[in-house]
């Protein structure tokens, strides 16, 4: 009955690309698990089933993490099927094919994602989807895939953009744009005002969007386009999420705090593009990986959640510590990330140590706030190497009144922090982030102006 679906479809602007056929997929940031940060190419079906089982056992599925995403290296490397042109799942890694794995993941009440690239080959050199968009989209739909991560490797010369987007830091992978278009070293930079939605990059990603649209399945379309080619301008009409930066990790660079803080700085300048249905993606989580301290892990997760990045766990869930599971399940931060009423992310309201809007890869903004259905979330970070005081001053925090008393809840402990008039100060450890939710105004003025060390409040 065609007329029945018209009202649903008509709620989406016609110019907007991807329609979620189920009316819901992609409206909020995706939550789940992806193999890359944990295993790189060393994957097989068992690792996905283990991850799925652990999502269930650890209560992460219950908390909302529902995608199990296969990254690079899942197919036969040498060729496509000579008759059908389809990619061929590696029979040793996936003995029952991707469709077989998908069935098992679905039977656990979870969704499954797959990976390809808008080039001739994936980043690890496997067949990829440029010029095969239709056959691949149809194949993924037939396998009952729910999510596609679409990378940007091995773009042939005839698909090169006519001019270049600024990638100021020349170390690979690319680091994405500086704000204000200042590009120190680029050859053939596109002129100011260039319409990046007309670029060949945008066209490569639109082709797969259209192929996915033409299937009869809802497949969340996630661009892994490294923040290049002005994707912040066309990502939302092309996809449900798009990467703001280069990778958070690659073989040889695993879970480095320096990389996390660098990405946070870059992402902090792209937050106005995120709202319902389209999310600027800060890349997959490193929670549980490398030598991140608990403070660094808290900051990483809190800021990624607050920016409304998709949250894809990237660690071996058979080895994760209970402390890290608790961070991933933080109910206040997940509620903010998955807010059904307010789609905008938290943003910096003050840089703190540095002047506002400073672009600094080791010292991004330290004071963040965002509105949510549950109240105002405030984050105060300390990027220094020793503990320091951080003060949230109501007159500086958007939407708060200067001369008012607010009720605060500590996001990490769930403790009621009581009522605070005018401001709230805490001691924050190195690389840590204090986080609290302002859930309402206090009517009594009983605790005016009282200050306390973070977490020491017992009143
Ligand atoms: C398919 O093509 C590849 C590469 O051209 C070749 O190595 C392989 O033997 C062919 N397979 C079949 C079944 O024809
Ligand atoms: C992205 O597109 C959706 C419609 O698909 C729209 O609701 C949303 O507001 C857009 N985001 C921004 C930041 O404009
Ligand atoms: C980044 O900010 C910190 C803190 O102010 C400062 O010490 C450092 O020199 C800055 N880095 C650059 C490259 O300006
Ligand atoms: C140096 C410079 O021009 N900085 C500007 C960058 O853009 C922000 C707003 O996006 C301005 O507030 C800064 O002044």
State the average pLDDT over residues 156-180.
65
Q: Which of 114-118, 245-249, 319-323 has the lowest mean pLDDT?
A: 245-249
Query: Which residue stretches of 143-274 are H helix?
Result: 200-213, 231-238, 257-267
| Closest atom of ligand 3 relative to the 360 alpha carbon | 1
Does 82 contact ligand 1 (Cβ within 6 A)?
yes
Does 238 contact ligand 2 (Cβ within 6 A)?
no
CA distance 420 to 418: 7
| Closest atom of ligand 1 relative to the 78 alpha carbon | 4
Say if CB 32 and CB 111 are below 8 A apart: yes
Which of 223, 240, 225 lies closest to 275, judged by CA?
Answer: 240
| DSSP category for residue 190 | P
| DSSP category for residue 161 | -
Question: Which of 272, 275, 281, 345 to mutate to test ligand 2, by most ligand atoms within 8 A of the CB atom?
Answer: 275
* 116 membership: H or E segment, kind and range: strand 111-117
276: which 2 tokens?
């319902």
Q: Do the domains 17-337 and 347-458 sit in the same CATH topology, yes or no?
A: no
Judge whether 247 counts as a catalytic residue.
yes
CA separation, residue 315 to residues 311, 321, 459 (Å)? 12, 11, 39
Question: Which of 362, 381, 382, 385 to mutate to test ligand 3, by most ligand atoms within 8 A of the CB atom?
Answer: 362
Question: Best-predicted range by mean pLDDT among 252-261, 370-379, 437-446?
Answer: 370-379
Cα(359) to ligand 4 centroid in Å equals: 9
Q: Whose CA is nearest to atom 9 of ligand 2?
A: 275
CA separation, residue 84 to residues 79, 145, 190, 407 (Å)? 12, 19, 40, 62
Does 356 contact ligand 4 (Cβ within 6 A)?
no
| Closest atom of ligand 2 relative to the 274 alpha carbon | 13
Does 180 contact ligand 4 (Cβ within 6 A)?
yes
R_g (Cα) of the chain, nearest Å: 22
Query: Which residue stretches of 239-288 are H helix?
Result: 257-267
pLDDT of 96 reads 98
Q: Whose CA is nearest to atom 12 of ligand 3?
A: 360
CATH homologous superfamily, domain 347-458: Golgi alpha-mannosidase II (2.60.40.1180)
| Closest atom of ligand 3 relative to the 362 alpha carbon | 1
Q: What is the pLDDT of residues 80-137, one digit of tens each?
A: 999 999 999 999 999 999 999 999 999 999 999 999 999 999 999 999 999 999 999 9
Q: Report residue 8's pLDDT band, with 50, 70 and 90 as the boundaries.
A: very low
Q: How many CB atoms lie within 10 A of CB 445?
A: 11
56: which 2 tokens?
């269930």
Say if CB 276 and CB 27 are below 8 A apart: yes
Does 389 contact ligand 1 (Cβ within 6 A)?
no
CA distance 245 to 169: 11
Helix/strand/coil for 5: helix
User: What rounded mean pLDDT belongs to the chain?
Assistant: 89
Question: Which of 8, 16, 220, 244 to mutate to test ligand 2, by most ligand atoms within 8 A of the CB atom?
Answer: 16
CA separation, residue 79 to residues 82, 94, 120, 381 (Å)? 8, 17, 11, 49
For the cut 80, the answer to whether the pLDDT of residue 453 exceeds it is no
Enter the pTM of the model: 0.90
Buried b (16+ CB within 10 A) or exposed e, 212-245: beebebbbbbbbbbbbbbbbbebbbbbbbbbbbb
| Closest atom of ligand 1 relative to the 81 alpha carbon | 1
What is the CATH architecture of 17-337? Alpha-Beta Barrel (3.20)
Boundaries of every domain in the chain:
17-337, 347-458
Cα(33) to ligand 3 centroid in Å equals: 34
Say if CB 335 and CB 315 are below 8 A apart: no
Which listed residue (151, 161, 339, 432) is catalytic? 151
């Amino acid at each position: 009955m065609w007329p029945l679906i018209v009202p649903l479809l008509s709620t989406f602007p016609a110019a907007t690309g991807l329609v979620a056929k189920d009316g819901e997929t992609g409206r909020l940031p995706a939550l789940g698990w992806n193999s890359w940060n944990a295993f790189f190419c060393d994957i097989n079906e068992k690792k996905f089933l283990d991850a799925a089982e652990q999502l269930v056992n650890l209560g992460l599925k219950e908390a909302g993490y529902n995608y199990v995403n296969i990254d690079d290296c899942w197919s036969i490397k040498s060729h496509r099927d000579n008759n059908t042109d389809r990619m061929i799942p590696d029979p040793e890694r996936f003995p029952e094919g991707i469709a077989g794995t998908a069935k098992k993941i679905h039977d656990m009440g979870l969704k499954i994602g797959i990976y390809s690239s808008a080039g001739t080959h994936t980043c690890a050199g496997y067949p990829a989807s440029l010029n095969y968009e239709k056959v691949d989209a149809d194949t993924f739909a037939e396998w009952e895939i729910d999510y596609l991560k679409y990378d940007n490797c091995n773009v042939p010369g005839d698909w090169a953009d006519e001019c270049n987007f600024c990638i100021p830091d020349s170390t690979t992978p690319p680091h994405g744009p500086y704000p204000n278009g200042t590009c120190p070293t680029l050859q053939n930079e596109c002129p100011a005002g260039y319409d990046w939605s007309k670029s060949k990059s945008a066209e490569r990603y639109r082709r797969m969007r259209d192929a996915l649209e033409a299937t009869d399945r809802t497949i969340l379309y996630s661009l892994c386009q490294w923040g290049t080619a002005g994707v912040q301008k066309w990502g939302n009409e092309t996809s449900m999420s798009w990467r703001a930066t280069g990778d958070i990790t690659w073989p040889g660079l695993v879970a480095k705090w320096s990389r996390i803080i660098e990405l946070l700085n870059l992402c902090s300048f792209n937050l106005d593009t995120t709202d319902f249905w389209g999310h600027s993606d800060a890349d997959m989580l490193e929670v549980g990986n490398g030598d991140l301290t608990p403070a660094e892990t808290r900051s990483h997760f809190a800021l990624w959640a607050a920016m409304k990045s998709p949250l894809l766990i990237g660690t071996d869930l058979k080895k994760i510590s209970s402390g890290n599971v608790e961070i991933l399940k933080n109910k206040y931060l997940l509620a903010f990330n998955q807010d059904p009423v307010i789609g905008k992310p938290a943003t910096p309201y003050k840089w703190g140590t540095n002047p506002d809007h400073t672009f600094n890869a080791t010292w991004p903004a330290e004071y963040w706030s965002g509105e949510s259905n549950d109240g105002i979330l405030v984050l105060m970070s300390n990027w220094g190497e020793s503990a320091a005081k951080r003060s949230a001053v109501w007159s500086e925090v958007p939407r708060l009144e200067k001369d008012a008393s607010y009720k605060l809840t500590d996001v990490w402990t769930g403790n009621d922090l009581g009522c605070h008039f005018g401001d709230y100060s805490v001691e924050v450890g190195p690389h840590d982030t204090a986080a609290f939710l302002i859930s309402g105004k206090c009517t009594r003025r009983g605790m005016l102006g009282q200050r306390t060390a973070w977490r020491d409040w017992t009143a």
